[in-house]
Chains A and B, each alone.
Chain A
Protein backbone atom coordinates (compact mmCIF):
# COMPACT_ATOMS: atom_id res chain seq x y z
CA UNK A 1 0.00 0.00 0.00
CA UNK A 2 2.79 2.38 0.88
CA UNK A 3 4.45 1.45 -2.36
CA UNK A 4 1.30 2.19 -4.30
CA UNK A 5 0.73 5.54 -2.66
CA UNK A 6 4.29 6.59 -3.33
CA UNK A 7 4.08 5.78 -7.01
CA UNK A 8 0.48 6.75 -7.74
CA UNK A 9 0.35 9.87 -9.90
CA UNK A 10 -1.93 12.68 -8.75
CA UNK A 11 -5.61 11.99 -9.33
CA UNK A 12 -8.15 14.42 -10.71
CA UNK A 13 -11.76 14.31 -9.52
CA UNK A 14 -15.06 15.96 -10.41
CA UNK A 15 -18.31 15.73 -8.47
CA UNK A 16 -21.96 16.50 -8.99
CA UNK A 17 -25.14 16.02 -7.00
CA UNK A 18 -27.94 13.74 -8.17
CA UNK A 19 -30.34 11.15 -6.74
CA UNK A 20 -29.99 12.74 -3.31
CA UNK A 21 -26.29 12.02 -3.10
CA UNK A 22 -22.95 13.02 -4.60
CA UNK A 23 -21.33 11.29 -7.55
CA UNK A 24 -17.54 11.46 -7.92
CA UNK A 25 -15.56 10.68 -11.06
CA UNK A 26 -11.82 10.23 -10.52
CA UNK A 27 -9.11 9.67 -13.13
CA UNK A 28 -5.32 9.46 -12.95
CA UNK A 29 -3.30 12.24 -14.49
CA UNK A 30 -1.53 11.18 -17.62
CA UNK A 31 2.15 12.09 -17.81
CA UNK A 32 1.89 12.14 -21.60
CA UNK A 33 -0.89 14.71 -21.64
CA UNK A 34 -0.98 18.36 -20.70
CA UNK A 35 -2.72 18.92 -17.36
CA UNK A 36 -5.30 21.12 -19.06
CA UNK A 37 -6.09 18.34 -21.56
CA UNK A 38 -6.67 15.90 -18.69
CA UNK A 39 -8.93 18.41 -16.98
CA UNK A 40 -10.89 19.09 -20.17
CA UNK A 41 -11.32 15.39 -20.85
CA UNK A 42 -12.51 14.83 -17.29
CA UNK A 43 -14.94 17.75 -17.48
CA UNK A 44 -16.42 16.37 -20.68
CA UNK A 45 -16.72 12.87 -19.24
CA UNK A 46 -18.33 14.21 -16.06
CA UNK A 47 -20.88 16.11 -18.13
CA UNK A 48 -21.85 12.89 -19.94
CA UNK A 49 -22.19 10.98 -16.68
CA UNK A 50 -24.18 13.77 -15.05
CA UNK A 51 -26.60 13.95 -17.97
CA UNK A 52 -27.16 10.20 -17.75
CA UNK A 53 -27.80 10.29 -14.00
CA UNK A 54 -30.09 13.30 -14.33
CA UNK A 55 -32.15 11.65 -17.06
CA UNK A 56 -32.63 8.48 -15.03
CA UNK A 57 -33.46 10.48 -11.91
CA UNK A 58 -36.11 12.44 -13.80
CA UNK A 59 -37.77 9.12 -14.70
CA UNK A 60 -37.36 7.15 -11.47
CA UNK A 61 -37.22 9.65 -8.60
CA UNK A 62 -40.04 9.32 -6.09
CA UNK A 63 -38.98 12.70 -4.71
CA UNK A 64 -40.07 14.37 -7.97
CA UNK A 65 -43.87 14.56 -8.24
CA UNK A 66 -43.62 14.88 -12.03
CA UNK A 67 -41.48 11.77 -12.54
CA UNK A 68 -42.84 8.74 -14.32
CA UNK A 69 -42.26 6.69 -11.17
CA UNK A 70 -44.42 9.11 -9.14
CA UNK A 71 -47.16 8.88 -11.77
CA UNK A 72 -47.06 5.10 -11.45
CA UNK A 73 -47.31 5.26 -7.66
CA UNK A 74 -50.30 7.63 -7.91
CA UNK A 75 -51.97 5.26 -10.35
CA UNK A 76 -52.02 7.83 -13.13
CA UNK A 77 -49.97 5.49 -15.30
CA UNK A 78 -50.05 1.70 -15.61
CA UNK A 79 -46.87 -0.30 -16.05
CA UNK A 80 -47.81 -1.65 -19.51
CA UNK A 81 -48.09 1.95 -20.71
CA UNK A 82 -44.85 3.04 -19.07
CA UNK A 83 -41.68 3.88 -20.97
CA UNK A 84 -39.36 1.17 -22.24
CA UNK A 85 -36.76 2.30 -19.71
CA UNK A 86 -39.24 1.90 -16.84
CA UNK A 87 -40.42 -1.49 -18.02
CA UNK A 88 -36.86 -2.72 -18.53
CA UNK A 89 -35.87 -1.77 -15.00
CA UNK A 90 -39.03 -3.34 -13.59
CA UNK A 91 -38.26 -6.54 -15.48
CA UNK A 92 -34.69 -6.54 -14.22
CA UNK A 93 -35.80 -5.92 -10.64
CA UNK A 94 -38.45 -8.64 -10.89
CA UNK A 95 -35.79 -11.11 -12.03
CA UNK A 96 -33.68 -10.19 -9.03
CA UNK A 97 -36.68 -10.74 -6.76
CA UNK A 98 -36.89 -14.32 -8.03
CA UNK A 99 -33.14 -14.88 -7.81
CA UNK A 100 -33.04 -13.61 -4.23
CA UNK A 101 -36.26 -15.40 -3.23
CA UNK A 102 -37.92 -12.12 -2.42
CA UNK A 103 -35.16 -10.56 -0.34
CA UNK A 104 -34.79 -7.94 -3.06
CA UNK A 105 -38.08 -6.56 -4.28
CA UNK A 106 -39.20 -3.73 -6.56
CA UNK A 107 -42.22 -3.09 -4.41
CA UNK A 108 -42.73 -1.37 -1.10
CA UNK A 109 -44.57 -3.23 1.66
CA UNK A 110 -47.73 -1.35 0.69
CA UNK A 111 -47.41 -2.74 -2.84
CA UNK A 112 -46.33 0.50 -4.48
CA UNK A 113 -43.73 0.16 -7.20
CA UNK A 114 -40.29 1.37 -6.08
CA UNK A 115 -37.31 0.76 -8.33
CA UNK A 116 -34.96 2.89 -6.23
CA UNK A 117 -33.05 -0.23 -5.23
CA UNK A 118 -31.85 -0.85 -8.76
CA UNK A 119 -31.80 2.57 -10.41
CA UNK A 120 -28.56 3.85 -8.91
CA UNK A 121 -26.70 0.66 -9.80
CA UNK A 122 -28.16 0.84 -13.28
CA UNK A 123 -27.06 4.46 -13.60
CA UNK A 124 -23.51 3.57 -12.55
CA UNK A 125 -23.46 0.67 -15.02
CA UNK A 126 -24.67 2.86 -17.88
CA UNK A 127 -22.24 5.62 -16.95
CA UNK A 128 -19.44 3.07 -17.07
CA UNK A 129 -20.44 2.09 -20.59
CA UNK A 130 -20.48 5.73 -21.62
CA UNK A 131 -17.01 6.30 -20.20
CA UNK A 132 -15.69 3.31 -22.13
CA UNK A 133 -17.37 4.59 -25.27
CA UNK A 134 -15.62 7.91 -24.74
CA UNK A 135 -12.35 6.02 -24.77
CA UNK A 136 -11.52 6.43 -21.09
CA UNK A 137 -9.72 3.35 -19.86
CA UNK A 138 -8.83 4.39 -16.31
CA UNK A 139 -11.45 5.83 -14.00
CA UNK A 140 -13.24 5.36 -10.69
CA UNK A 141 -16.92 6.24 -10.40
CA UNK A 142 -18.35 6.56 -6.88
CA UNK A 143 -22.06 7.24 -6.49
CA UNK A 144 -22.95 7.77 -2.86
CA UNK A 145 -20.66 4.96 -1.71
CA UNK A 146 -21.22 2.47 -4.54
CA UNK A 147 -18.14 2.13 -6.74
CA UNK A 148 -17.32 0.97 -10.27
CA UNK A 149 -13.81 1.16 -11.65
CA UNK A 150 -11.97 0.60 -14.88
CA UNK A 151 -8.26 0.17 -15.37
CA UNK A 152 -5.94 1.49 -12.71
CA UNK A 153 -5.14 4.67 -10.74
CA UNK A 154 -1.60 4.17 -12.02
CA UNK A 155 -1.82 2.72 -15.52
CA UNK A 156 1.97 2.60 -15.75
CA UNK A 157 2.26 -0.22 -13.24
CA UNK A 158 -1.35 -1.41 -13.41
CA UNK A 159 -2.10 -1.45 -9.69
CA UNK A 160 -5.72 -1.91 -8.66
CA UNK A 161 -7.91 0.90 -7.43
CA UNK A 162 -7.97 0.68 -3.65
CA UNK A 163 -11.35 1.22 -2.05
CA UNK A 164 -11.94 1.77 1.63
CA UNK A 165 -15.17 0.75 3.35
CA UNK A 166 -16.45 3.04 6.04
CA UNK A 167 -16.99 1.76 9.55
CA UNK A 168 -20.73 2.12 10.18
CA UNK A 169 -19.99 2.78 13.85
CA UNK A 170 -17.65 5.67 13.00
CA UNK A 171 -18.00 7.01 9.51
CA UNK A 172 -14.72 8.94 9.80
CA UNK A 173 -12.76 5.70 9.89
CA UNK A 174 -12.36 2.80 7.51
CA UNK A 175 -13.41 -0.70 8.46
CA UNK A 176 -11.56 -2.45 5.65
CA UNK A 177 -10.02 -2.05 2.25
CA UNK A 178 -10.55 -3.86 -0.99
CA UNK A 179 -8.69 -3.80 -4.34
CA UNK A 180 -10.91 -3.19 -7.35
CA UNK A 181 -9.83 -4.11 -10.85
CA UNK A 182 -11.63 -3.28 -14.03
CA UNK A 183 -11.89 -6.00 -16.60
CA UNK A 184 -12.11 -3.40 -19.32
CA UNK A 185 -8.43 -2.56 -19.34
CA UNK A 186 -7.21 -2.77 -22.90
CA UNK A 187 -10.52 -4.04 -24.22
CA UNK A 188 -12.48 -2.22 -26.93
CA UNK A 189 -15.35 0.07 -25.91
CA UNK A 190 -18.47 -1.77 -24.88
CA UNK A 191 -21.63 -1.52 -26.91
CA UNK A 192 -24.27 0.88 -25.69
CA UNK A 193 -26.93 -1.76 -25.49
CA UNK A 194 -29.97 -0.31 -23.73
CA UNK A 195 -30.76 -3.73 -22.34
CA UNK A 196 -27.70 -3.46 -20.15
CA UNK A 197 -26.26 -6.70 -21.39
CA UNK A 198 -22.85 -5.38 -22.37
CA UNK A 199 -20.32 -7.24 -20.26
CA UNK A 200 -18.64 -4.31 -18.58
CA UNK A 201 -16.54 -5.72 -15.80
CA UNK A 202 -17.66 -9.18 -16.60
CA UNK A 203 -15.78 -12.03 -15.04
CA UNK A 204 -12.59 -12.82 -16.87
CA UNK A 205 -11.24 -16.29 -17.52
CA UNK A 206 -9.43 -16.34 -14.19
CA UNK A 207 -12.63 -15.35 -12.40
CA UNK A 208 -10.80 -12.72 -10.42
CA UNK A 209 -12.34 -9.54 -11.69
CA UNK A 210 -13.89 -7.28 -9.07
CA UNK A 211 -14.70 -4.00 -10.75
CA UNK A 212 -17.60 -3.05 -8.49
CA UNK A 213 -18.15 -2.56 -4.77
CA UNK A 214 -21.56 -1.79 -3.33
CA UNK A 215 -22.58 -1.27 0.28
CA UNK A 216 -26.00 -1.23 1.88
CA UNK A 217 -26.93 -0.32 5.41
CA UNK A 218 -29.96 -0.98 7.53
CA UNK A 219 -30.21 2.49 8.99
CA UNK A 220 -29.48 4.73 6.03
CA UNK A 221 -31.93 6.94 4.25
CA UNK A 222 -32.49 6.05 0.64
CA UNK A 223 -31.58 2.41 0.79
CA UNK A 224 -35.19 1.32 0.63
CA UNK A 225 -34.65 -1.91 2.48
CA UNK A 226 -37.32 -3.71 4.37
CA UNK A 227 -36.42 -6.71 6.40
CA UNK A 228 -37.94 -9.94 5.14
CA UNK A 229 -38.33 -11.10 8.69
CA UNK A 230 -39.99 -8.73 11.10
CA UNK A 231 -37.82 -7.08 13.70
CA UNK A 232 -34.43 -5.47 13.76
CA UNK A 233 -32.10 -6.04 10.85
CA UNK A 234 -29.44 -8.67 11.42
CA UNK A 235 -26.78 -6.68 9.59
CA UNK A 236 -25.92 -3.07 10.06
CA UNK A 237 -23.91 -2.90 6.86
CA UNK A 238 -23.16 -5.27 3.99
CA UNK A 239 -20.53 -4.71 1.30
CA UNK A 240 -20.36 -6.83 -1.85
CA UNK A 241 -17.58 -6.85 -4.43
CA UNK A 242 -18.52 -8.29 -7.81
CA UNK A 243 -17.75 -8.04 -11.48
CA UNK A 244 -20.73 -5.80 -12.15
CA UNK A 245 -22.22 -3.07 -10.04
CA UNK A 246 -25.89 -4.02 -10.29
CA UNK A 247 -25.17 -7.51 -8.96
CA UNK A 248 -23.13 -6.04 -6.11
CA UNK A 249 -25.77 -3.43 -5.29
CA UNK A 250 -28.77 -5.74 -5.46
CA UNK A 251 -27.12 -8.49 -3.41
CA UNK A 252 -25.94 -6.04 -0.73
CA UNK A 253 -29.51 -4.79 -0.46
CA UNK A 254 -30.93 -8.31 -0.42
CA UNK A 255 -28.55 -9.48 2.32
CA UNK A 256 -29.41 -6.55 4.59
CA UNK A 257 -33.07 -7.50 4.11
CA UNK A 258 -32.65 -11.28 4.23
CA UNK A 259 -29.94 -11.75 6.86
CA UNK A 260 -27.57 -14.71 7.16
CA UNK A 261 -29.61 -17.11 4.98
CA UNK A 262 -29.48 -14.61 2.11
CA UNK A 263 -25.77 -13.99 2.74
CA UNK A 264 -25.04 -17.71 2.46
CA UNK A 265 -27.22 -18.02 -0.59
CA UNK A 266 -25.48 -15.09 -2.26
CA UNK A 267 -21.94 -16.33 -1.62
CA UNK A 268 -22.89 -19.80 -2.85
CA UNK A 269 -24.70 -18.72 -5.98
CA UNK A 270 -22.76 -15.69 -7.19
CA UNK A 271 -19.08 -15.02 -7.77
CA UNK A 272 -18.76 -12.31 -5.13
CA UNK A 273 -16.85 -11.29 -2.03
CA UNK A 274 -18.83 -10.20 1.00
CA UNK A 275 -18.12 -8.26 4.18
CA UNK A 276 -21.05 -8.03 6.56
CA UNK A 277 -21.24 -6.10 9.84
CA UNK A 278 -23.66 -7.59 12.33
CA UNK A 279 -25.84 -5.37 14.46
CA UNK A 280 -23.47 -6.03 17.39
CA UNK A 281 -20.43 -5.02 15.33
CA UNK A 282 -19.11 -8.51 14.62
CA UNK A 283 -17.93 -9.23 11.10
CA UNK A 284 -18.58 -11.99 8.60
CA UNK A 285 -16.33 -12.10 5.55
CA UNK A 286 -15.45 -14.23 2.57
CA UNK A 287 -11.82 -15.02 1.82
CA UNK A 288 -11.28 -12.04 -0.46
CA UNK A 289 -11.73 -9.67 2.46
CA UNK A 290 -9.11 -11.45 4.59
CA UNK A 291 -5.71 -9.88 4.80
Chain B
Protein backbone atom coordinates (compact mmCIF):
# COMPACT_ATOMS: atom_id res chain seq x y z
CA UNK B 1 0.00 0.00 0.00
CA UNK B 2 2.99 2.24 0.42
CA UNK B 3 3.51 2.04 -3.28
CA UNK B 4 -0.05 2.93 -4.05
CA UNK B 5 0.22 5.79 -1.63
CA UNK B 6 3.12 7.20 -3.55
CA UNK B 7 1.27 6.79 -6.79
CA UNK B 8 -1.60 8.62 -5.18
CA UNK B 9 0.72 11.49 -4.40
CA UNK B 10 1.53 11.55 -8.07
CA UNK B 11 -2.14 11.63 -8.88
CA UNK B 12 -2.94 14.43 -6.48
CA UNK B 13 -0.12 16.67 -7.58
CA UNK B 14 -1.06 15.84 -11.13
CA UNK B 15 -4.51 17.23 -10.57
CA UNK B 16 -2.97 20.47 -9.42
CA UNK B 17 -0.41 20.83 -12.13
CA UNK B 18 -2.25 18.69 -14.65
CA UNK B 19 0.89 17.47 -16.33
CA UNK B 20 1.98 14.52 -14.26
CA UNK B 21 2.52 11.41 -16.27
CA UNK B 22 0.97 9.03 -13.79
CA UNK B 23 -2.02 11.29 -13.44
CA UNK B 24 -2.37 11.63 -17.16
CA UNK B 25 -2.13 7.91 -17.64
CA UNK B 26 -4.70 7.12 -14.99
CA UNK B 27 -6.98 9.92 -16.10
CA UNK B 28 -6.92 8.83 -19.69
CA UNK B 29 -8.18 5.41 -18.72
CA UNK B 30 -11.18 7.01 -17.17
CA UNK B 31 -12.03 8.43 -20.52
CA UNK B 32 -15.09 6.31 -21.14
CA UNK B 33 -17.62 7.05 -23.80
CA UNK B 34 -19.68 9.05 -21.36
CA UNK B 35 -21.13 11.31 -23.95
CA UNK B 36 -18.67 14.10 -23.39
CA UNK B 37 -16.33 13.05 -26.14
CA UNK B 38 -12.88 11.57 -26.05
CA UNK B 39 -9.56 13.26 -25.71
CA UNK B 40 -8.14 11.70 -28.81
CA UNK B 41 -4.69 12.08 -27.30
CA UNK B 42 -2.20 9.32 -27.56
CA UNK B 43 1.13 8.74 -25.95
CA UNK B 44 2.15 6.13 -28.48
CA UNK B 45 5.30 8.04 -29.32
CA UNK B 46 6.41 7.80 -25.73
CA UNK B 47 8.35 4.67 -24.95
CA UNK B 48 7.22 4.98 -21.36
CA UNK B 49 3.58 4.73 -22.30
CA UNK B 50 3.93 2.58 -25.37
CA UNK B 51 2.63 -0.47 -23.59
CA UNK B 52 -0.71 -1.93 -24.58
CA UNK B 53 -3.62 -0.32 -22.89
CA UNK B 54 -5.98 -3.25 -22.31
CA UNK B 55 -8.28 -1.13 -20.25
CA UNK B 56 -11.62 -2.28 -18.93
CA UNK B 57 -14.29 -0.26 -17.26
CA UNK B 58 -18.01 0.13 -16.77
CA UNK B 59 -18.88 1.16 -20.22
CA UNK B 60 -16.23 0.07 -22.62
CA UNK B 61 -12.59 0.38 -23.34
CA UNK B 62 -10.31 3.14 -24.32
CA UNK B 63 -7.24 3.23 -26.44
CA UNK B 64 -5.86 6.54 -25.39
CA UNK B 65 -3.01 6.50 -22.95
CA UNK B 66 -0.18 8.39 -21.43
CA UNK B 67 -1.00 11.84 -22.59
CA UNK B 68 1.10 14.60 -21.15
CA UNK B 69 -1.14 17.26 -22.51
CA UNK B 70 -2.58 19.30 -19.69
CA UNK B 71 -5.97 19.94 -21.22
CA UNK B 72 -6.24 16.33 -22.31
CA UNK B 73 -5.59 15.11 -18.79
CA UNK B 74 -8.08 17.38 -17.14
CA UNK B 75 -10.64 16.74 -19.83
CA UNK B 76 -10.31 13.01 -19.32
CA UNK B 77 -10.64 13.48 -15.57
CA UNK B 78 -13.89 15.29 -16.14
CA UNK B 79 -15.21 12.46 -18.23
CA UNK B 80 -14.20 9.95 -15.60
CA UNK B 81 -15.90 11.98 -12.93
CA UNK B 82 -19.22 11.71 -14.72
CA UNK B 83 -18.87 8.00 -15.35
CA UNK B 84 -17.93 6.73 -11.89
CA UNK B 85 -16.79 3.22 -11.09
CA UNK B 86 -13.36 1.66 -11.26
CA UNK B 87 -10.88 2.14 -14.05
CA UNK B 88 -7.72 0.25 -14.81
CA UNK B 89 -4.76 2.23 -16.00
CA UNK B 90 -2.50 1.27 -18.83
CA UNK B 91 0.45 -1.01 -18.35
CA UNK B 92 3.36 1.39 -18.13
CA UNK B 93 6.96 0.25 -18.42
CA UNK B 94 9.26 1.96 -15.94
CA UNK B 95 12.72 1.09 -14.75
CA UNK B 96 11.06 -0.40 -11.69
CA UNK B 97 9.14 -2.83 -13.88
CA UNK B 98 5.60 -2.88 -15.18
CA UNK B 99 3.18 -0.62 -13.40
CA UNK B 100 -0.59 -0.61 -13.63
CA UNK B 101 -2.95 1.26 -11.32
CA UNK B 102 -6.70 1.12 -10.77
CA UNK B 103 -8.68 4.14 -9.67
CA UNK B 104 -12.09 4.15 -8.04
CA UNK B 105 -14.36 7.08 -8.78
CA UNK B 106 -17.53 7.88 -6.86
CA UNK B 107 -19.64 10.96 -7.44
CA UNK B 108 -16.88 12.61 -9.35
CA UNK B 109 -14.23 12.00 -6.71
CA UNK B 110 -11.32 9.60 -6.85
CA UNK B 111 -11.81 7.53 -3.73
CA UNK B 112 -9.02 4.99 -4.15
CA UNK B 113 -5.92 4.25 -6.16
CA UNK B 114 -4.66 0.70 -6.15
CA UNK B 115 -1.56 -0.73 -7.75
CA UNK B 116 -2.64 -3.71 -9.84
CA UNK B 117 0.77 -4.56 -11.21
CA UNK B 118 4.00 -3.48 -9.66
CA UNK B 119 6.73 -5.93 -10.44
CA UNK B 120 10.40 -5.84 -11.29
CA UNK B 121 12.11 -7.83 -14.04
CA UNK B 122 12.10 -10.95 -11.87
CA UNK B 123 8.38 -10.63 -11.25
CA UNK B 124 8.71 -9.56 -7.64
CA UNK B 125 6.66 -6.73 -6.30
CA UNK B 126 8.67 -3.58 -5.85
CA UNK B 127 8.03 -0.25 -4.28
CA UNK B 128 7.98 2.85 -6.37
CA UNK B 129 9.66 5.56 -4.40
CA UNK B 130 11.42 7.75 -6.89
CA UNK B 131 8.71 10.23 -7.74
CA UNK B 132 9.83 13.83 -7.28
CA UNK B 133 7.16 15.15 -4.92
CA UNK B 134 6.59 18.63 -3.49
CA UNK B 135 8.72 19.11 -0.40
CA UNK B 136 9.28 21.90 2.11
CA UNK B 137 12.70 23.44 2.42
CA UNK B 138 12.89 22.22 5.99
CA UNK B 139 12.39 18.65 4.75
CA UNK B 140 15.38 18.40 2.42
CA UNK B 141 18.78 17.14 3.50
CA UNK B 142 20.32 20.14 5.21
CA UNK B 143 23.84 21.40 4.76
CA UNK B 144 25.91 24.24 6.12
CA UNK B 145 28.91 25.47 4.23
CA UNK B 146 31.09 24.24 7.06
CA UNK B 147 29.80 20.70 6.68
CA UNK B 148 30.44 20.17 2.98
CA UNK B 149 33.57 19.44 0.99
CA UNK B 150 32.21 20.63 -2.35
CA UNK B 151 29.42 22.84 -3.69
CA UNK B 152 27.14 22.05 -6.59
CA UNK B 153 25.19 24.59 -8.56
CA UNK B 154 24.37 25.76 -12.04
CA UNK B 155 27.52 26.59 -13.94
CA UNK B 156 29.30 29.60 -12.57
CA UNK B 157 31.57 31.71 -14.72
CA UNK B 158 35.19 32.01 -13.71
CA UNK B 159 34.38 35.57 -12.58
CA UNK B 160 31.43 34.46 -10.44
CA UNK B 161 33.58 31.68 -8.99
CA UNK B 162 35.69 34.24 -7.17
CA UNK B 163 32.85 35.04 -4.78
CA UNK B 164 31.39 31.52 -4.64
CA UNK B 165 31.21 29.13 -1.73
CA UNK B 166 33.34 26.68 -3.71
CA UNK B 167 36.09 29.28 -3.92
CA UNK B 168 36.00 29.64 -0.17
CA UNK B 169 36.29 25.89 0.26
CA UNK B 170 39.16 25.71 -2.22
CA UNK B 171 40.98 28.59 -0.55
CA UNK B 172 40.72 26.83 2.79
CA UNK B 173 42.40 23.73 1.35
CA UNK B 174 45.26 25.27 -0.60
Contact = CB atoms under 8 A, between A and B. Distances in A.
Contacts of A172: 165
Contacts of A174: 143-145, 148, 151, 165
A26 B95 contact: no
A22 B94 CA distance: 37
B145 A164 contact: yes
B131 A264 contact: yes
A222 B155 contact: yes
Nearest to A22: B161
Nearest to A274: B132
Contacts of B133: 284-286
Contacts of B169: 13, 24, 26
B137 A142 contact: no
Contacts of A15: 170
A154 B22 CA distance: 42
A24 B19 contact: no
Nearest to B137: A283
A201 interface: no
A18 B63 CA distance: 52
A5 interface: yes
Most A CB contacts (10 A, CB to CB) among B17, B148, B167 go to B148
Contact of A140 (B135, B144, B147, B150): B150
A219 B145 CA distance: 23
Given A13-B169, A162-B147, A286 B156 contact: no
Contact of B141 (A140, A223, A290): A290
Nearest to A287: B129
Contacts of B144: 1, 164, 174
B169 to A, nearest CB: 7
B44 to A, nearest CB: 13
A268 B57 CA distance: 26
A214 B150 CA distance: 12
Contacts of B134: 282-284
B19 A259 contact: yes
B136 interface: yes
Nearest to A271: B95
Contacts of A2: 147
A172 B163 CA distance: 8
A146 B155 contact: yes
Closest 7 CB pairs of A and B: A177-B143, A217-B154, A166-B153, A13-B173, A164-B148, A145-B153, A22-B161
Interface of B: 10, 17, 19-22, 45-46, 48, 68, 94-96, 129-137, 139-158, 160-161, 164-167, 169-170, 172-174
7 contacts: A5-B146, A24-B170, A145-B166, A177-B141, A177-B148, A265-B48, A286-B130
Interface of A: 1-2, 4-5, 8, 10-15, 17, 20-22, 24, 26, 101, 120, 140, 142, 144-147, 149, 153, 161-166, 168, 171-180, 213-217, 219-223, 237, 239, 259-261, 263-265, 267-276, 282-287, 289-291
